[in-house]
Amino acid sequence: ETGVTQSPTHLIKTRGQQVTLRCSSQSGHNTVSWYQQALGQGPQFIFQYYREEENGRGNFPPRFSGLQFPNYSSELNVNALELDDSALYLCASSLDITGVNGYTFGSGTRLTVV
Amino acid sequence: DAKTTQPTSMDCAEGRAANLPCNHSTISGNEYVYWYRQIHSQGPQYIIHGLKNNETNEMASLIITEDRKSSTLILPHATLRDTAVYYCIVTLIQGAQKLVFGQGTRLTINP
């Protein structure tokens, strides 16, 4: 079975620009979560998508938004980029909404905002 | 979500058992203990989880104390590839399960 794949792996953007990050969930997984990991810190929960609807959100402003598609893949969009948005963005999928059997994480997209 | 406390770093010799402690003294009755690890430049990897009973899988064993206020992750025969940051997470099993990652324990396996 394939794991979680994220694209691109690295990205450099200018402050004020917009960015879209993509995630393909593991085969058979219907729930996708996004996390932000700043350098030297643990990942922080951004939001979760289930059945194409946002199903929970962490402490992130509205300029962080997302989508989930019928094939369960997902996008993370960030508008009006700030320097502090520089981080590793991780996508994680789970078999169901509870995540009881654990989440499968991708290797992430490293975003640098200059 | 309950908070967890883990040592910042630990060392272990290759081939020996690595025992990683986690304190979660404020855990509630329906919260599970999960362990993930993150190898450098990769996303976190699920290891194991439990509620009350001890658990074992192909990767590790999880020992939870009877009062559930602490737990220990055991890697029975550590290899160099087990060098990683290990996160102990306490969470409810519910919709929109949010994993709250702390600083974790940086485990270094020495040859």
Question: Does the distance separating the beta carbons of A45 and B98 come in below 8 Å?
Answer: yes
Over residues A38-97, the pLDDT tens digits come to 999 999 999 999 989 998 999 999 999 999 999 999 999 999 999 999 999 999 999 888
The neighbour count for residue A78, using CB atoms within 10 Å, is 24
**pLDDT tens digit sequence for B61-107:** 999 999 999 999 999 999 999 999 999 999 987 766 789 999 999 99
Name which of A9, A25, A29, A45 to mutate to probe chain B: the one with the most chain B Cβ atoms within 10 A of its Cβ.
Answer: A45
pLDDT at residue B1, as a whole number = 56
Helix (H, G, I), strand (E, B) or coil at A54: strand
Nearest to B36 by CA among A98, A38, A103, A24: A103
State yes or no: pLDDT of A5 exceeds 90. yes
Q: Which positions ≥6 away from A30 have C-beta within 8 Å? A: A50, A51, A72, A95, A96, A97
Closest CA to A22 of A37, A7, A35: A7
Sheet holding A74-78, edge to edge: A5-7, A19-24, A74-78, A64-68
Confidence of residue A110 (pLDDT cuts 50, 70, 90): very high
Instruction: Please judge whether B98 and A58 are an interchain contact, meaning their C-beta atoms are less than 8 angstroms apart.
Output: yes
Chain A CB contacts of B44 below 8 Å: 43, 90, 92, 103, 105
Q: Closest residue of B to A49, CA-based?
A: B96
Are A43 and B99 a contacting pair at CB < 8 A?
yes
